[in-house]
Amino acid sequence: MTDQPDAKPARRRDAARSRELLFQAARELFTHRGYDRATTREIGELAGVDPTLIARYFGGKTQLYIAVLNAEFGDSRPAGLLDEERVRLLIDRVDERGPGPAFRVAATPYQDPAVQSAATEQLHSRLVAPLRDQYDEEGRPDAQLRAELVVAAFAGVLMGRSSGAFPALAEADSDQVVRLVRELLAQTGQS
């Protein structure tokens, strides 16, 4: 048996490290470019990892996005959509990054049942549930239905604003949109 000093040792994969690198790269790209403008290829390049590993470790780009959102927000319960700062944050985020999977699922179902389930769960836990709980506390009838109507209206405004189908909505300054959306949402949730 001869010694081969030039032979490189086999490189061992570190799955946990690769997963973390992909997660951190995705967080950076999703934050700065949004869901739509960040590609799996770019995530892999920034991470220095094969982008096909996104499917292995997360299930796909949408699940990776949702994992980043969950890490960003944790288990804390966000303010409801009747809170001005919450509305402003969401409008500004969609203006900067485009609508993510949780808003998209409100308008168009995903073909993949796992993606559909994850995006729907995110929509309900982050937006519908806090509003439903607020309506329950206020003793309003049909709290779940009211909350879903308000969230559907809000998602429609965000999707319409980013789609370009409504030029005045797309061009309006965010302060004006926040004010008008709050008025609309308050009316939608009234008895």
Could you read off the pLDDT of 77-104 as tens digits, one per residue?
777 888 889 899 999 988 888 888 788 8
Q: Are residues 164 and 107 in the same domain?
A: yes
pLDDT band at 54 (very low <50, low <70, confident <90, very high): very high
| Number of Cβ atoms within 10 Å of the Cβ of 86 | 17
Distance CA 111, CA 134 (A): 32
Q: Are residues 81 and 131 located together in one domain of the fold?
A: yes
Residue 111 has pLDDT above 60, yes or no: yes
What DSSP designation does 78 have? P
Lowest pLDDT segment from 15-19, 39-43, 109-113: 109-113
Q: What domain range includes position 64?
A: 14-74
The CATH number linked to 64 is 1.10.10.60
> Which residues are within 8 A (CB) of 73 and not within 5 positions of it... i.e. 6 or more apart?
126
Q: Let me know whether 167 and 85 are in one domain.
A: yes
* 3-state secondary structure string across 111-125: CCHHHHHHHHHHHHH
Q: Nearest to residue 107, comparing CAs of 49, 165, 146?
A: 165
pLDDT at 170: 92
Residue 34 one-letter amino acid: G
What whole-number distance in Å separates Cα of residue 25 and Cα of residue 45? Answer: 9
Do 182 and 111 share a structural domain? yes
Would 108 be classed as within a structural domain?
Answer: yes
Q: How far, in Å, CA of 25 to CA of 75, rounded? A: 22
